Amino acid sequence: MSQRVWIVRHGNREDFQNPGWARTAQRPYDPALSSDGETQAREVGLSLQGVPVHYIFASPFLRTIQTASHIADALDLPVCPEPGIGEILPEAKCDPALMPDEERRRRFPRVEAHYEEVGALSYPESSEQGHERAAATARALTQRYPNKNLLMVTHGAPVVGIVRGLTGLTERIFVPLCCVFTLQRSGESWGVVQRSDISHLSNQESSRRYAHSG
């Protein structure tokens, strides 16, 4: 069977619901999912039940770990925290504060403690550098696990970087919250099987409202 990759954007975030949240937050770049974001994450997880995923990778930000954990519950798999598919933050002057590893593993027991990371986060970076970092990480993961199907839970901009980096797609890419992209390898090239799918969500308008486009 040809290798497949599923790419999922995280669910709605608490600072989208409360724009003033970051002003008093301990980790202003690392909001959690909002209540409807939790619902979106559960729904995308249920929609993926039965899909032949072998490994789940997630950006180390809280909202992506939460989304990936719901998917992992539905698929009964661990979550590998992969910095290389982390958020692209052109405005960040230094590495943002994220939840410490020990706390993250305590709160999210499906997070794999001994996963060997492929990529790394280093800020500041431009949008172009972030896209290439995410794409390079995705390529490295597909090469590390060439006979396995992979699911990556990330953010709007890295979704664009990964899809473009693997497939060479040049047209504009629309990335709603908790959408699913499906890519499939054919020989040495990758094609898009499904893009921007939100048919599994009960509130699709909320997903589209905060869509990323790149």
Q: How confident is the model at residue 17 (pLDDT cuts 50, 70, 90)?
A: confident
Q: Read off φ and ψ for residue 4, nearest 5 degrees.
A: -120, 150
Q: How confident is the model at residue 19, as a pLDDT?
A: 86
Entry field: residues in the chain: 214
> What is 4-213's CATH superfamily?
Phosphoglycerate mutase-like (3.40.50.1240)
Measured CA to CA in angstroms, residue 125 lies from 90, 91, 137, 174 at distances of 6, 8, 15, 22
Q: Tell me the per-residue pLDDT of 37-87, one tens digit each, with 9 for 90 and over.
A: 999 999 999 999 999 999 999 999 999 999 999 999 999 999 999 999 999
Q: What is the mean pLDDT of residues 159-187?
A: 97
Q: Read off φ and ψ for residue 152, nearest 5 degrees.
A: -120, 125
Q: Tell me the per-residue pLDDT of 37-49, one tens digit each, with 9 for 90 and over.
A: 999 999 999 999 9
**Which residue, 87, 45, 42, 94, is CA-closest to 62?**
87
Round the average pLDDT of the chain to a whole number and report it.
96
Q: What is the mean pLDDT of residues 17-32?
A: 91
Q: How confident is the model at residue 1, as a pLDDT?
A: 63
Angle at 196 between CA 201 and CA 27, to 5 degrees: 75
pLDDT cut 70: percent of the chain above it: 100
